[in-house]
Structure 1
């Protein structure tokens, strides 16, 4: 159950949730190669660093092997291809561990190939950036909640990188240490740190080439080749918490709503039920609150909490008929604060 929420929320599953950053709404034109671009001046604030890394993730062709290692010993690896042409972006992520799957993202569509089941799942989501996870978070002010500190220069995957620390100003969020390629700002490695500075999760390219083995058009043909697969559309309906009869009495300072979605979740031998997902961001960290009808046979009476490296999960019954699950790369107390603030809108 909790793993399902983590997957739908896009958290800690093969590809890490890296940064939620503010940047321009329109993708930048695709650059030829990092080595052709002059080194940009280093930002001095959190928002500037996020914008630089966001721009680099959208304006470069690259491919590489990406590893995620959690403090609980879990490890996952993926092969990443990113290609751009003008303002168009496409991404291909192939899982190298766990269940075989290949995920394409293009123009707001996420298409997941499951070779063992011979199924292709297709869903439309807001096109808020590709790999690393750097969607445009609206209305956030990360500099109010994090301090930035230069931490030297190192090499990652054979490339020179600036090391930057994002230090939380309170206990509601984790800290981060990021290695950004010097010439472009592309994020090469990231560590998520707890309040004592311990590494909860590390994600990094083990090898990276500033090119893609296939261009945008070739990758579009791969995405469109569904011969031998059954296509299953996954409808998502954009909504708001108020429209669904919910509101927050209060939220944690800095976390701003980024949208809500409804999805019908099919359950074996049961009638599909609707799950509501509401997303919040502070400009770096992100979390999701899921709401679904409570079922005594599916859910326990008491609250549950789980730590999976940097990803934390809190789940409990709210009111008489609702099961709430909060998932995010934030401290457990932050998730408890969100669930505790839930109430029916009058």
Structure 2
């Protein structure tokens, strides 16, 4: 089964909700500004209810402009829980953060813009790579051929306190069955996302994440975090060999697009110990909120023994043999039907 290219600590959308670049399944791109920031909270309602194109940019801007320290906890409907301590600082275009796992195997992940360094103390290994950061939301609110408002509605459904901060509670409702809904707690003054729930089609909570404690505008220094991420003396350093490619160059295409999902990036990495040029290709799609990664590699009967679907909270995965001699692993925080739609529309061109 294909493996994600990055470390898994807490689910991707949870980290992305904080503007972090240390997410789960891959490097996603954000090449342009989203849209202009929405008016401040005091102006909400002056011209009517805020829509998606007003709420989301405000949250996005807050994730990139505020420094903070906090403890972030993720729980799933299956009873699993993970937590991490986060230090984040923003200085103009520079984003630096440290994410320290508090559950499971010890792990420290540092990011300085696109550079990501992961320390694994038990193995005494440091892994380095470059990853383009998606940030909170992609630039698809006004993207070509579709936009977030075409597939989600947003409305304020109440107020609450999270980690001592007053928040607006915003419901993002999908317009079809290809994506999950979201309930977001946005800090009232800044817009920073401090709590997030992923909801299934019946409105049940699949996964919840929240700061259990948070210090906004904390004195986090980018130079200190940068020094820590480069302190690799005495560690075994492993450098990722992920390279950019394109589906066309690798011989793949989508017969029909899955509604609302735009291709973002495509990457390839060699398979450890495998001869020849073949490797694992990772093709990333997003609708501006949800992301799907398609991992494609040559079929190996010894390695790819079992087809099927699995779920971990909001994260779904689908593994199957396709196009004869190829193995697909599709992963995303989307309903199972969405992953099946991607699998059914994949075509081998050569």
TMscore range, shorter length: 0.7 to 0.9
**Residue 184 (str. 1) matches residue 211 (str. 2):** no
Q: Which residue of 1 aligns with 2:319?
A: 315
Q: Which residue of 2 aligns with 1:44?
A: 50
- In 2: Cα distance, 1:69 partner to 1:248 partner: 34
Q: CA deviation at 1:26?
A: 5.8
**Residue 25 (str. 1) matches residue 32 (str. 2):** yes
Q: CA deviation at 1:107?
A: 2.5
Does the aligned pair in 2 maintain the 1:82–1:89 contact within 8 Å? yes
Could you tell me which runs of 5 or more consecutive residues in structure 2 were left unpaired when the two chains were aligned: 20-27
For normalisation by structure 1, the TM-score amounts to 0.88
Partner SS state of residue 226, structure 1: coil
Q: CA deviation at 1:342?
A: 0.7
Q: Which residue of 2 aligns with 1:120?
A: 126
- In 1: Cα distance, 2:173 partner to 2:67 partner: 30
- In 2: Cα distance, 1:167 partner to 1:73 partner: 25
In structure 2, the CA distance between the partners of 1:227 and 1:23, relative to structure 1 (3 Å rule), is closer
- In 1: Cα distance, 2:32 partner to 2:285 partner: 18
In structure 2, the CA distance between the partners of 1:292 and 1:40, relative to structure 1 (3 Å rule), is farther
Q: CA deviation at 1:85?
A: 2.1
- In 2: Cα distance, 1:180 partner to 1:109 partner: 28
**Residue 5 (str. 1) matches residue 4 (str. 2):** yes
Could you tell me which runs of 5 or more consecutive residues in structure 1 were left unpaired when the two chains were aligned: 29-36
Q: CA deviation at 1:39?
A: 4.7
Deviations 1:145-200 (A, max 9, x none): 01111111100010000000000111011000000000110000000000000000
Deviations 1:232-282 (A, max 9, x none): 100211111111100000122100001111112326xx5596110011111
Q: Which residue of 2 aligns with 1:34?
A: none
Match of 1:80 among 74, 86, 102: 86
Does the aligned pair in 1 maintain the 2:18–2:193 contact within 8 Å? no
In structure 2, the CA distance between the partners of 1:344 and 1:316, relative to structure 1 (3 Å rule), is same
Q: Which residue of 1 aligns with 2:307?
A: 303
**Residue 345 (str. 1) matches residue 349 (str. 2):** yes
Match of 2:288 among 283, 286, 297: 283
For normalisation by structure 2, the TM-score amounts to 0.87
Partner SS state of residue 249, structure 2: coil
- After superposition, where does 1:13-162 map in structure 2 within 5 Å? 16-18=15-17, 25=32, 39=41, 41-42=43-44, 44-129=50-135, 133-137=136-140, 139=144, 141-162=147-168
Does the aligned pair in 2 maintain the 1:124–1:235 contact within 8 Å? no
Deviations 1:108-156 (A, max 9, x none): 1111011111111011111433xxx545455450000011111111000
CA RMSD in angstroms, aligned pairs only:
2.8
- In 2: Cα distance, 1:5 partner to 1:232 partner: 16
Number of matched residues?
331
Partner SS state of residue 60, structure 2: helix
Q: CA deviation at 1:341?
A: 0.7
Q: Which residue of 2 aligns with 1:31?
A: none
Does the aligned pair in 1 maintain the 2:18–2:192 contact within 8 Å? no
- In 2: Cα distance, 1:263 partner to 1:168 partner: 34
Q: Which residue of 2 aligns with 1:32?
A: none
Q: CA deviation at 1:17?
A: 4.8
- In 1: Cα distance, 2:74 partner to 2:9 partner: 14
Partner SS state of residue 243, structure 1: helix
Q: CA deviation at 1:213?
A: 5.0
